[in-house]
Chains A and B, each alone.
Chain A
Amino acid sequence: MRIPCPWCGDRPLSEFTYGGDASKARPKNPEKASPEEWVDYVYLRDNPAGKHTEYWHHSGGCRSWLMVTRDTRSHEISRAVLAKPQPGGATS
Chain B
Amino acid sequence: MSRQTNRLPEGGLVDRTQVISFTFDGRKFKAHPGDTLASALLANGIHLTGRSFKYHRPRGIYTAGAEEPNALVTLGNGGRTEPNTPATMVEVYDGLKARSQNRWPSLKFDLLSVNSLLKPFFPAGFYYKTFMWPRSFWYRLYEPMIRRAAGLGTLANESDPDRYETAHTQCDVLVVGAGPAGLMATREAARAGVNVLLVDEQPLPGGHLTGEADKVDGKSGAAWAAGMADELRAMENVCILSRTTVYGRYDGMTFGAVERVGDHLSPDSALPRQRGWTIQTRQLINAAGAIERPLVFAGNDRPGVMLAGAARVYVNRYGVLPGRNVVVFTNNDDAYRTARDLSQAGANVTLVDSRAKEKVHSRGVLPASVEMHFEQYISKVKGRSHVGRVTLAPSGTEIACDLVCVSGGWTPSLHLLSHVGHRPEWDEASTSFVMKEPGDEARAAGGAAATFDLNETLREGSKAGKAAAEACGHGIPGKTNLPKADDLPAYHIEPLWRVPSAMSRADGSFVDLQNDVTVADLELATREGFGHAEHAKRYTTLGMATDQGKLANVNALGILSQLQGRPISETGTTTFRPLTAPAAFGAIAGQARGSAFRPIRRSAMHLWHENHGAVFTQAGLWLRPYFYPREDEDFAAAVKREVLAVRSSIGMVDVSTLGKIELKGPDAGNFLDRLYINAFSKMKVHRARYGVMLREDGMVFDDGTVSRLGESHYFITVTTANASAVMQHMEFCHQVHWPHLDVQFCTVSETWAAMAVAGPKARDVLARAVNGLHLENHAFPFMAVGEGTIGGAPVRVFRISFSGELAYEVYTPAGYGADVWEAIMAAGESDGITAYGTEAMTVMRTEKGHVAGPELDGRTTAADLGLGGMMSVRKNFIGRWMASRSGLEGQDRLQLVGLKPVRSDETFRMGAHLVKDIGVTGVDVSHGHISTSVYSPTCDHFIGLAMLRNGRERHGETLQVVSPLHDESVSVEVVGPVFSDPDGEKMRG
Taking beta carbons and an 8 Å cutoff, which residues of A are in contact with B?
1-2, 12-13, 17, 19, 26, 30-31, 33, 35, 38, 41-43, 55, 57, 59, 63-65, 73-75, 77, 82-85, 89-92
| Closest 8 pairs between A and B when the two form their complex, measured CB to CB | A1-B251, A2-B252, A75-B251, A1-B252, A65-B735, A83-B736, A30-B876, A90-B737
Given contacts A35-B885, A73-B421, A91-B738, contact A55 B732 (CB under 8 A): yes
B876 touches A31 (CB 8 A): yes
A43 contact set on B, CB distance < 8 A? 697
* 5 residue pairs bridging A and B, Cβ less than 8 Å apart: A13-B251, A38-B882, A74-B251, A74-B421, A84-B735
Which of B736, B739, B880, B885: most chain A CB closer than 10 A?
B736
Report the minimal beta-carbon distance from B517 to chain A, rounded to whole angstroms.
32
CB of B731 closer than 8 Å to a CB of A: yes
Contact with A along B617-639 (1 / 0, CB 8 A): 00000000000000000000000
Q: How far is the CB of B118 from chain A (nearest CB, A)?
A: 46
Question: Which B residues from 770 to 824 make CB contacts under 8 A with A?
Answer: none
Q: In the complex the two chains form, is B251's CB within 8 Å of A85's CB?
A: no
B732→A19 contact, CB < 8 A: yes
Given the complex, which residues of A lie within 8 Å of B254, measured CB to CB?
Answer: 1-2, 12
Distance in angstroms from B379 CB to nearest chain A CB is 48
Chief secondary structure at chain A's binding surface: loop
Please report which residues of chain B, range 910-953, place their CB below 8 angstroms from some CB of chain A when the two chains form the complex.
Answer: none
State whether B739 touches A84 (Cβ < 8 A): yes
> Which residues in B have their C-beta under 8 angstroms from that of A42?
696-697, 882
Separation of A75 and B250 alpha carbons in the complex (Å): 10
- The distance in angstroms between the C-alpha atoms of A38 and B879, with both chains bound, is 10
Is A30's CB under 8 angstroms from B881's CB?
A: yes
Contact yes or no, A85 B250, CB < 8 A: no
Q: Do residues B420 and A59 form an inter-chain contact, with CB atoms below 8 A?
A: no
Among A12, A33, A57, the residue within 8 A (CB) of B732 is: A57
CB pair B280–A89 under 8 Å, yes or no, is no
B735 in contact with A64 (CB, 8 Å) = yes
Q: At the interface, yes or no: B106 with Cβ under 8 Å from chain A? A: no
Q: Knowing A12-B254, A30-B880, A74-B420 touch, does A91 contact B732 (C-beta < 8 A)? A: no
Q: Is the beta-carbon distance between B736 and A85 smaller than 8 angstroms?
A: yes
A1 with B250: CB separation less than 8 A: yes
User: Least Cβ distance of A64 to chain B in Å?
Assistant: 7
Which chain A positions have C-beta within 8 A of B882?
Answer: 38, 42
What is the size, in residues, of chain B's interface with A at 8 Å between Cβ atoms?
25
Q: Residue on B with the closest CB to A31?
A: B876
Given A42-B696, A42-B697: A59 and B728 within 8 A (CB)?
yes
Decide: B736 and A65 in contact? CB cutoff 8 A.
yes
Shortest A32–chain B CB gap in Å is 10
Closest to B735 in A: A65
Asked whether A12 lies within 8 Å of B280 as measured between CB atoms, the reply is yes
- What residue of chain B has the Cβ atom nearest to residue A63's Cβ? B731
B885 nearest CB neighbor, chain A only: A35
Residues of B within 8 A of A73 (CB): 421
Contact B251 A38 (CB under 8 A): no
State whether A91 and B731 are in contact (beta carbons under 8 Å apart), knowing that A38-B882, A42-B882 are contacts in the complex.
no
A33 to chain B, nearest CB (A): 7
* Separation of A64 and B735 alpha carbons in the complex (Å): 8
Contact across chains for A65 and B732 when beta carbons are under 8 A apart: yes
Cα(A2)–Cα(B420), bound, Å: 14
Q: Mark B415-450, 1 if CB is under 8 A from A, else 0.
A: 000001100000000000000000000000000000
Q: How far is the CA of A38 from the CA of B880 in the complex (A)?
A: 11
Task: Note all chain A residues with C-beta closer than 8 A to B738.
Answer: 85, 90-91
Measured CA separation A65–B730 after assembly (Å): 11
Once bound together, how far apart are the Cα atoms of A55 and B618, in whole Å?
31
Q: Is there contact, CB below 8 Å, between A2 and B732?
A: no
Interface flags, B254-280, vs A, CB<8A=1, else 0: 100000000000000000000000001
In the complex, B740 has a CB within 8 A of chain A: yes
Q: Which residues of B contact A65 (CB under 8 A)?
A: 731-732, 735-736
Question: Within the complex, what minimum Cβ distance (angstroms) separates A67 from chain B?
Answer: 9
Tell me the complex Cα distance, A77–B876, Å: 35
Q: A12-B254, A35-B885 are in contact. Are A57 and B737 (CB under 8 A)?
A: no
Residue numbers in B under 8 Å from A55 (CB-CB): 732, 736
Q: Which residues of B sit under 8 angstroms from A57, Cβ to Cβ?
A: 728, 731-732
Please report the C-alpha to C-alpha distance between residue A64 and residue B732 in the assembled complex, in whole angstroms: 8
Interface centre among B697, B737, B738 (most CB of A within 10 A): B737
Give CA–CA (A26, B879) in the complex, Å: 11
Residues on A with C-beta less than 8 A from B728 are: 17, 57, 59
Report the separation of the CA atoms of residues A89 and B736 in the bound assembly, to the nearest whole angstrom: 9
Contacts of B253 in A (CB 8 A): 2
Complex formed: what's the CA distance from A55 to B739 in Å? 16
Q: State in angstroms the CA–CA spacing of A3 and B697 once bound together.
A: 29
**Are the C-beta atoms of B740 and A91 separated by less than 8 Å?**
yes
Q: How far is the CB of B669 from chain A (nearest CB, A)?
A: 15
State the CA gap A87–B654 with chains docked (Å). Answer: 46
7 other contacts beyond A2-B253, A59-B728, A89-B737, with CB at 8 A cut-off? Answer: A2-B280, A31-B876, A57-B732, A74-B251, A75-B251, A84-B735, A90-B737
Which chain B residues lie closer than 8 Å to A12 at the CB level?
A: 254, 280
The minimal Cβ–Cβ distance linking A7 to chain B, given in whole angstroms, is 12
Minimum CB–CB distance from B368 to chain A (whole Å) comes to 57
